[in-house]
Amino acid sequence: MLNPEHICLIGTGKLSRHLAKKLRLYKGKPIYIWGRNSDKAAQIAGEFELIHLEDLMQIPMNCVAIFCVSDHAIETLANKLKGIADFMVHLSGTQTIHVLTKYTLNAAVMWPVQSFSFQSHMEWKRIPLVLEVSNTDSKEWLMELVSALGGMPVFLDEESRKKLHLAAVVSNNFLNHLMVLTETWCIENKLDFQLLRPLISQSIANLNDQSPTELQTGPASRNDQTIVQAHLDMLQAHAQLKEVYSLMSSQISENNRI
Amino acid sequence: MLNPEHICLIGTGKLSRHLAKKLRLYKGKPIYIWGRNSDKAAQIAGEFELIHLEDLMQIPMNCVAIFCVSDHAIETLANKLKGIADFMVHLSGTQTIHVLTKYTLNAAVMWPVQSFSFQSHMEWKRIPLVLEVSNTDSKEWLMELVSALGGMPVFLDEESRKKLHLAAVVSNNFLNHLMVLTETWCIENKLDFQLLRPLISQSIANLNDQSPTELQTGPASRNDQTIVQAHLDMLQAHAQLKEVYSLMSSQISENNRI
């Protein structure tokens, strides 16, 4: 009867570091870490009192292997741990569970819907963990892990997870790209980007009790073509921002005419 | 010697209501409100104990007239108050101060860089107030008003204010449009938009200590064309989101190659 009692983190990226920091111990035992970049693995192990594995094959028996690696690296590493790790978990929003089930019966996906940076503190209890499992044993073991992390479990099938991942790209990466364009514009025009912070925070806070559709304001939503055109004229030398401005304004105006 | 002792709010929109709520009294005296929509003006007056003017011409002497109206309505109303209001202030990010100085020597612009909704409470002390004045008397009177509101004064000339307004449109209205697209996608795919809230909040919180350029992640920034293409395929029936996805991904990839 299997019953994974150790955790081994595979990989040394931001997410691995956040898991190491949050877990430290699992079922009273120190957790393990292995990484292709051995120095980085040793550094995380040192910082959070983990056991550093120089060689992946030193992984203990009765182990949950958590793949905190790039999507394309998961399958190769899962293959190496075939017959060794009791239970394999990957953390990808886009990869199928089958990159693991090819090599083990007991597999799960646990995708945290969050943007992990090196600096910030993670409030795990607020983070949705999107889950998928290969069988009932995996479900039981995964829920132990979820409970150790304190995240918010949400079971979704692969198709829905991929769709939610797309939404996450839009609302995280594209939102951040708008901030890149805005910051660049501010720097080029000697304006303090920080002046916009209360506005940005309030725009997000307003989403707590209202739908973004109800919240839309501004020149494009009023179809104020004089201001839209004046802005496009100001953007002559700012190709990226001009393209985004033009596309978004026309979509906002279009939605407001409906 | 002029010395405006009364405030009259002209207009009954969101901003007028927030000013009424915050000010209530000015120099110990109740403030006045007039609006083209007389019922709405009476309602705001009732709610915050203001004096409702049925007729704009009843405006008291020694008055600051604050125009909380659409950009295109400011000049007509300023003309009506020529020789009557001591001091005129408009709140627009885009209008020149000269729509007021045509009708009075004492004029100012006070543009709050904030998105006002009907529901939310405004923390005035965090809101940048972008200021411009026509003369030194106006500056003195304006600072009294700023101090009554408790906002953060920032003097900018007209050109810089207009450039900051453009940046505000991008980081408020366009950010909100991304949220509209994301929410629509979620609804159409039976996904809970609320699952993305911690991600969105964290993306914004990360901007406190890092530049958005350093924070960019995701498939486009890694130039992972497999995922980008898979997402575009999923968006066949979602024209607006597909256009935005395609443009933003190519810009993010482009920036990352530099």
Which is nearest to A123 in space by CA: B116, B205, B214, B45? B205
Please answer yes or no on whether B113 and A195 come within 8 Å at the CB atom: yes
Instruction: Give pLDDT, residue B249.
Output: 97
Lowest mean pLDDT among A19-28, A176-185, B35-44: A19-28
Residue type, B223: N
Query: Which of B152, B255, B151, B169 minimizes the C-alpha distance to B212?
Result: B255
Are A244 and B248 in contact (CB < 8 Å)? yes
- Min Cα separation B84/chain A (Å): 31
Contact A147, A119 (CB under 8 A): no
Q: What is the band of B6 on the pLDDT scale with cuts at 50, 70, 90?
A: very high
In whole angstroms, give the CA distance from residue B127 to residue B114. 7
ipTM over 0.85: yes
A98, pLDDT greater than 60:
yes
Q: Is the pLDDT of residue A1 over 60?
A: no
* pLDDT confidence of residue B61: 87
The DSSP H or E segment spanning A108 is strand A107-112
For residue A236, give the amino acid letter.
Q
> Where in chain A is CATH 3.40.50.720?
6-156
DSSP letters spanning B192-231: -GGGGHHHHHHHHHHTTTS-HHHH--STTTTT-HHHHHHH
The average confidence (pLDDT) of chain A is 94
Q: Which fold has domain B162-257?
A: N-(1-d-carboxylethyl)-l-norvaline Dehydrogenase; domain 2 (1.10.1040)
Mean pLDDT score, A121-137: 94
- Chain B: closest CA distance from residue A110 (Å): 14
Give the single-character DSSP code of A112.
Answer: E
Question: What is the helix (H) or strand (E) element at residue B6, kind and residue range?
Answer: strand B6-10
Q: Residues A17-23: contacts with CB within 8 Å, 24+ apart?
A: A17/A44, A17/A118, A18/A116, A18/A122, A19/A66, A19/A68, A19/A149, A20/A44, A20/A45, A20/A47, A20/A48, A20/A50, A21/A48, A21/A122, A22/A122, A22/A124, A22/A149, A22/A150, A23/A148, A23/A149
Question: What is the model's pLDDT at position B119?
Answer: 67
Which residue of B lies nearest to A153 if distances are taken between CA atoms?
B195
> What is the interface size between A and B, counted as CB pairs within 8 Å?
263
Contact (CB, 8 A) for B146 and B152: no
Residue B90 has pLDDT above 80, yes or no: yes
How many Å apart are CA A215 and CA B120, to the nearest integer?
12
The confidence score (pLDDT) of residue B220 equals: 95
A134-164: per-residue pLDDT in tens?
999 999 999 999 999 999 999 999 999 999 9
Contacts A117 to B, Cβ<8 Å: 206, 210, 215
Report which of B177, B241, B128 is spatially closest to residue A178, judged by C-alpha positions.
B177
- C-alpha separations of A119 from A18, A46, A150, B134, B165 in Å: 10, 18, 20, 46, 31
Q: Domain B6-156 has what CATH class? A: alpha beta
pLDDT of amino acid B2? 67
What percent of chain A shows pLDDT beyond 90? Answer: 85
Mean of pLDDT values over A224-240: 95
Residue B122 has a pLDDT of 82
The answer to whether B138 touches B107, Cβ cutoff 8 Å, is: yes
User: How close A146 comes to chain B (CA, Å)?
Assistant: 16
Q: How do residues B173-232 score in pLDDT, each as one tens digit?
A: 999 999 999 999 999 999 999 999 999 999 998 888 889 999 999 999 999 999 999 999
The boundaries of every CATH 1.10.1040.20 domain in chain A are: 162-257
- HSE toward the beta carbon, residue A51, CA cutoff 13 A: 15
Please, what is the average pLDDT of chain B? 94
The pLDDT, as a whole number, for residue A121 is 78
Res. B71: pLDDT tops 60: yes
A173 and B220 within 8 Å at the Cβ level: the answer is yes
pLDDT greater at residue A187 or residue A26: A187
> What mean pLDDT is predicted for residues A108-120?
86
Using CA atoms, how far apart are residues A79 and A75, in angstroms rounded to an integer? 6
Give pLDDT tens digits for A46-74: 999 999 999 999 999 889 999 999 999 99
Sheet of strand B152-155: strand arrangement: B51-52, B32-34, B6-10, B63-67, B87-90, B107-112, B128-133, B152-155
Nearest to B114 among A117, A172, A202 (CB): A202
Q: Each residue of B156-171: pLDDT tens digit?
A: 999 999 999 999 999 9
Q: Indicate the residue of A174, A217, A251 with minimum beta-carbon distance to B115.
A: A217
Could you write out the DSSP letters of every residue in B75-101?
Answer: HHHHHHTTTT-SEEEE--SSS-THHHH
CB proximity list for B90: less than 8 A, separation 6 or greater? B66, B67, B74, B78, B97, B99, B100, B108, B109, B110
Q: Say if CB A91 and CB A68 are below 8 A apart.
A: yes
Question: For A61-65, A93-97, A115-119, A201-205, which range has the lowest pLDDT when averaged over its residues?
Answer: A115-119
How far is residue B22's CA from residue B25's CA, in Å, rounded to a whole number? 9
Give residue A24's pLDDT band: very low, low, confident or very high (50, 70, 90): confident
CB A172 within 8 A of CB B199: yes
Among A169, A176, A209, beta carbon nearest to B212: A176
Contact assignment for A202 to B247 by CB distance below 8 Å: no
Put simply, the chain B residues between 52 and 81 with a CB less than 8 A from any chain A CB are 71
Is B2 near chain A, with CB under 8 Å? no
